[in-house]
Amino acid sequence: MSSSPTTEEAPKSPQAQTVWSRHRFALALALVVVLHLLGTFYYERPWLIFSEEPNSWLDFDTHIEQVWRVTEALDGWGKSWAYDPHLLAGYPNGTIFDADNKGWELWTFALWKLGVPKGMAFNLFILLAHLLVPWVAFFSARLFGLDRWASLAAMAMALALWYFDSFPHWCWWVGMVAYGFAGYFFLLPLGLLYRFLKDGRARHGVLLAVTLSIAHLIHPYSFVILVFPMVTLYVQKWKSLSLRQHAGLWGAAAMVLATNAYWLIVAFRFWHYILNSAFYCQSTLSFFWTDYMGLLKEPLVTGVLDNRTGFRFTFLALAVVCLYLWRKDRDDRFWAFVIGIFSMLAVAYMGGYNLVFSQIQPYRHVMPAMYLTIIPAAAFLTRAIREGALSGWPKAAYAVFAVGLVLTTTSWARDALYFLPNFLPDPQLTDEDEMANVAINPDFRRVPGSKGRQMEFRHHKTFEDFTKIADWLSEHDTEDGRVLVEWWILGEHLAWRTDSEILGGFLERNLEHSAANLFRRNEQGDIGHDALKQYFEDYAVKWVLLSRLDLEIEKYEGTLLEPVGFMEPVHRLYRTTVDVSYFAKNSGKVEASLNTISVKGTDPHEDVVLRYHWLETFVCEPDCKVEKEPMEHDPVGFIRVRAPHPPDFEIVNGY
């Protein structure tokens, strides 16, 4: 008898079915990957990413300035911080305010030393944050026991949140790339911990230590995100763990501390300069309701994007159903996800009531909460499909389900199209309408080259006015004196792009040195004629650059301010009418560079008081003594060098 299969038997071949199944999954995976790459390079255009110019705008300029100073410090002194005399009359860059930037700094420095242009190295970190989203979701889901189809569903959900939920999109668009990165990357060490506790394999323990260390370098809030679900998993398995597993876990914790010790030690060393940080993302319970309804309540909390949350709440609903089923099944993943999701929701929506959590911008933590939901959501969705959850329903139930599906997908489509404005028709606005929009709110401009089109929320080349202002300063700012910059974004940009000494930048910089920024003291810059004159003298202000309209400080035009020119579209440049000098006492010539203030031509028999911020690590060379000079409105104080001293000396950061 022939052993060849009959026609009827061929479709039932397990081998044939396996081959078909494998190809079907590969095609689905390829589709998701291709869509992701299209999305990545739509928002992060290759000609910008692979440019030698760093991606600049909003928070990006703050991070560029931090990365530039730290890479210079690493290269010149082998240290992760430096005294920067070009910012805020002297500022310890790399100490505390850049704690959320350590991974970005190390990444940029490493690629730069390998020969990649520094700007491109900076940009490649942004690209990395985009490219890893689906893979972290997929492999984390696999670690938590989901099969490949459920993991693929988690992968797709992660991308839907990344591109079309307002908060993750806000994070990576505005420049909070490191937090956006950490806001999903934490899933990997969490999944590795679960697998290590379950199987005890050494490779999972090693990968746990590595990824956990990386997560904390990417952003220190990874600790807040992970501590609740990780402790839950550990406590659950405590009694069943071997001594080797206990040792492996504590070894991973030790590696995290060792890897991050270099910047933690520095941060604690300068902690006495820290200020209140409870300015942004101060959410309360009412924001849960406005988020659910998709309403924008307060941009300083949720970001200035329209509140697009359809995917977020859909996945949360699916996750809650899955958690209910896991509870019934006594699934060992239940408590970790319950604690993880709801602890982050509690921080996100109630952290504003708490003095401790208010310091870490609590609303941020809505992002890890939503990324925690994708694994149980994907598990439930695939389970429901496989178990035929929709089969056997009455016709009326199918009708209700269809209506709900239409409403849900419509909500998703609206959320997605909000971030794809090129697929929508342009509103018809006149040139006057467009100019009025920029003048009212210069922080958030329309797409260059279009009239009235909603912003794309993707990145563009540095605006021409920024370049023109930087070029003007490089050409004309050649005398002693500083530049007071009112608009914080422009201040950060000029701080990294020019050699001028900038008073400005991020208003809520959480170190006492920010007292040097007039607009932190008073948002209109109007502290009274005599006090303003004294401020200009104290901080050697030679130029004043304004961008917001109708600022009260401009009433001193003709007395303290002399107009120099208008720079499109809204910038006004003034020169101060007071005589300024870097010397509050004595006279001479000052040349300042990173970690060094060189002073020449002084009277050696008179004390020197310099209008630069004091730092306790200063050393005066040769044969001179440097000490703190108290300031009335500045808790940091300036620099005094006692007589006698050499006519020429240097004040250096001795670390």
For residue 436, what pLDDT is reported? 55
Angle formed by the axes of helices 166-174 and 366-386, nearest 10°: 130
Q: What is the DSSP letter of 58?
A: T
**553-584 in b/e burial notation, b at 16+ Cβ within 10 A?**
bbebeeebbeeeeebeebbbbbebebebbbbb
Q: Is the dihedral of CA 389, 394, 398, 404 positive or negative?
A: negative
Quick: pLDDT tens for 588-609.
Answer: 999 999 999 999 999 999 999 9
Backbone angles phi, psi at 517, to 5 degrees: -90, 110
Q: Which among 59, 183, 62 is positioned nearest to 459, based on CA atoms? A: 59
Mean pLDDT of the chain: 90
Quick: pLDDT tens for 63-82.
Answer: 999 999 999 999 999 999 99
- pTM for the whole thing? 0.90
Q: Which residues neighbour 597 within 8 Å (Cβ) at sequence distance 6 or greater?
A: 85, 590, 591, 610, 612, 639, 650, 651, 652
Is 647 a residue whose pLDDT tops 90? yes
**614-640 in b/e burial notation, b at 16+ Cβ within 10 A?**
bbeebebeeebebeebebeebebbbbb
For residue 443, what pLDDT is reported? 43
Range of weakest confidence among 6-10, 76-80, 138-142, 506-510: 6-10
Range of weakest confidence among 57-71, 279-293, 421-435, 541-555: 421-435
For residue 468, what pLDDT is reported? 92
Whether 341 contacts 319, CB under 8 Å: yes
Whole-angstrom Cα distance, residue 319 to residue 485?
48
For residue 57, what pLDDT is reported? 87
Quick: pLDDT tens for 257-268.
Answer: 999 999 999 999
Whole-angstrom Cα distance, residue 415 to residue 314?
12
Confidence grade of residue 403 (pLDDT, cut at 50, 70, 90): confident
Whole-angstrom Cα distance, residue 348 to residue 74?
36
Range of weakest confidence among 12-16, 189-193, 372-376, 565-569: 12-16
Q: Which residues neighbour 93 within 8 Å (Cβ) at sequence distance 6 or greater?
A: 65, 66, 69, 70, 73, 81, 82, 83, 84, 87
Quick: pLDDT tens for 283-341.
Answer: 999 999 999 998 888 888 888 888 999 999 999 999 999 999 999 999 999 999 999 99
**133-143 in b/e burial notation, b at 16+ Cβ within 10 A?**
bbebbbbbbbb
Quick: pLDDT tens for 10-32.
Answer: 445 555 556 666 688 999 999 99
Q: Based on the number of CB atoms within 10 Å of its own CB, is 124 exposed (0-12), middle (13-18) or buried (19 or more)?
A: middle
